[in-house]
């Protein structure tokens, strides 16, 4: 993979203004709506409104806590690159920011999504271990499209669009929600459907990535998320076995005489 880096000197006044405007606007909402682990994460990684995060500083802080680091990328990367990076605790992050006239919507993730949305929670040990394990499972099954689809669903309904209710109401931890002003407000409102987290439920739920979500899965704790890993692995192994059996049956139909 081509080595890409964050050139901090290239950020313009508009970039700083975009970061400040978006950060301030979200921070006004976060104390009431985001997971406490995420809020704590913002503090420990040292994000502030007047400074676009410097990846070297973030890496130093995160490295000491959970060992994660930011791996600069130019844009979305394919699964073959994504899963191995996650497995090694290297989070692929873009280094550019949306323009001032794009504050509310951007079709592809920029640094505000990648960094403000994803990075704070990488400081939580249970979430960190869960995320790394998903990366490792992805590496193991990279050549199996169906398993990658299932892992994609898990990723989608947790890392990107997860909600948590630790006993005091719905809170947000998914990066796709936290980096969107509109969805930060709508996701925990009465409008969408909130479903208790279940691996089976997520495996059976295809996702739509071109609209605001109308269903969210709700965990009780990050420990619960981490503890769901054996079930995720078991269900994947079952799927792999079922695929092998199906292939075998098809082979027999073609190659073995009937009767
Ligand atoms: Fe994301």
Percentage of the chain beyond pLDDT 90 is 87
Q: What confidence tier does 159 reach under pLDDT thresholds 50, 70, 90? A: very high
Whole-number Å distance between alpha carbons of 213 and 69: 29
pLDDT in tens, 36-79: 999 999 999 999 999 999 999 999 999 999 999 999 999 999 99
Q: What is the pLDDT of residue 220?
A: 98
Q: What is the pLDDT of residue 178?
A: 97
Using the mean position of ligand 1's atoms as its centre, give its distance from the Cα of residue 240 in Å: 27
Using the mean position of ligand 1's atoms as its centre, give its distance from the Cα of residue 251 in Å: 40
pTM, to two decimals:
0.93
Residues 6+ apart with CB under 8 A from 167: 220
Domain ranges of the chain: 8-254
Q: What is the pLDDT of residue 257?
A: 62
Using the mean position of ligand 1's atoms as its centre, give its distance from the Cα of residue 241 in Å: 31
Using the mean position of ligand 1's atoms as its centre, give its distance from the Cα of residue 112 in Å: 10
pLDDT in tens, 101-127: 999 988 899 999 999 999 999 999 999
Q: What is the pLDDT of residue 99?
A: 95
Q: What confidence tier does 1 reach under pLDDT thresholds 50, 70, 90? A: low
Using the mean position of ligand 1's atoms as its centre, give its distance from the Cα of residue 246 in Å: 34
Using the mean position of ligand 1's atoms as its centre, give its distance from the Cα of residue 117 in Å: 7
Using the mean position of ligand 1's atoms as its centre, give its distance from the Cα of residue 256 in Å: 48
Using the mean position of ligand 1's atoms as its centre, give its distance from the Cα of residue 133 in Å: 17
Using the mean position of ligand 1's atoms as its centre, give its distance from the Cα of residue 176 in Å: 6
Q: What confidence tier does 2 reach under pLDDT thresholds 50, 70, 90? A: low
Q: What is the pLDDT of residue 258?
A: 58
Using the mean position of ligand 1's atoms as its centre, give its distance from the Cα of residue 121 in Å: 12
Using the mean position of ligand 1's atoms as its centre, give its distance from the Cα of residue 152 in Å: 12
Using the mean position of ligand 1's atoms as its centre, give its distance from the Cα of residue 252 in Å: 43
Using the mean position of ligand 1's atoms as its centre, give its distance from the Cα of residue 243 in Å: 30
- Asked if residue 202 has pLDDT above 70, the reply is yes
Using the mean position of ligand 1's atoms as its centre, give its distance from the Cα of residue 231 in Å: 24
Using the mean position of ligand 1's atoms as its centre, give its distance from the Cα of residue 92 in Å: 9
Q: What is the mean pLDDT of the chain?
A: 95
Using the mean position of ligand 1's atoms as its centre, give its distance from the Cα of residue 220 in Å: 21
Give the 3-state DSSP-derived string for the chain, with helices as H, strands as E and coil as C: CCCCCCCHHHCCHHHHHHHHHHHHHHHHHHHHHECHHHHHHHHHHCCECCECCCHHHHHHHHHHHCCCEEEECCCCCCHHHHHHHHHCCEEEECCCCCCHHHCCCCCCCCHHHHHHHHCHHHHCHHHHHHHHHHHHHHHHCCCCHHHHHHHHHHHHHHHHCCEECCCCCCEECCHHHHCCHHHHHHCCCCCCEEEECCHHHHHCCCCCCCCCCCEEEEECCHHHHHHCHHHHHHHHHHHHHHHHHHHHHHHHHHHCCCC
- Asked if residue 254 has pLDDT above 90, the reply is no
Q: What is the pLDDT of residue 194?
A: 98
Q: What confidence tier does 82 reach under pLDDT thresholds 50, 70, 90? A: very high
Query: Residue 168: exposed, middle, or buried by beta-carbon count in 10 A (0-12, 13-18, 19+)?
Result: exposed
Q: Which CATH fold would you assign to the domain 8-254?
A: 1.10.800
- Asked if residue 181 has pLDDT above 80, the reply is yes
pLDDT in tens, 13-41: 999 999 999 999 999 999 999 999 999 99
- Asked if residue 259 has pLDDT above 60, the reply is no
């Amino acid at each position: 993979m081509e080595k890409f880096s964050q050139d901090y000197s290239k950020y313009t006044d508009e970039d700083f203004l975009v970061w400040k405007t978006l950060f301030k606007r979200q921070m006004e909402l976060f104390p009431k709506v985001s997971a406490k682990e995420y809020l704590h994460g913002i503090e420990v990684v040292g994000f502030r409104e007047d400074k676009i995060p410097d990846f070297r500083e973030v890496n130093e802080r995160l490295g000491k806590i959970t060992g994660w680091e930011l791996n600069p990328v130019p844009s979305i990367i394919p699964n073959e690159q994504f899963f191995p990076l996650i497995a090694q605790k290297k989070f692929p992050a873009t280094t550019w920011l949306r323009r001032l006239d794009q504050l509310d919507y951007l079709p592809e993730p920029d640094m505000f999504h990648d960094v403000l949305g994803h990075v704070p929670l990488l400081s939580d040990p249970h979430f960190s271990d869960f995320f790394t394990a998903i990366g490792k499972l992805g590496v193991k099954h990279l050549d199996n499209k169906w398993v990658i689809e299932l892992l994609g669903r898990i990723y989608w309904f947790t890392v990107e669009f997860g909600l948590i209710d630790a006993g005091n109401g719905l809170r947000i931890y998914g990066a796709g929600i936290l980096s969107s002003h509109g969805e930060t407000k709508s996701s925990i409102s009465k409008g969408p459907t909130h479903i208790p987290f279940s691996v089976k439920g997520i495996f059976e739920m295809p996702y739509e990535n071109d609209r605001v979500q109308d269903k969210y899965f709700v965990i009780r704790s990050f420990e619960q998320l981490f503890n769901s890993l054996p079930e995720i692995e078991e269900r994947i192994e079952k799927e792999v076995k079922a695929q092998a059996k199906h292939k075998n049956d098809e082979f027999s139909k073609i190659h073995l005489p009937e009767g």
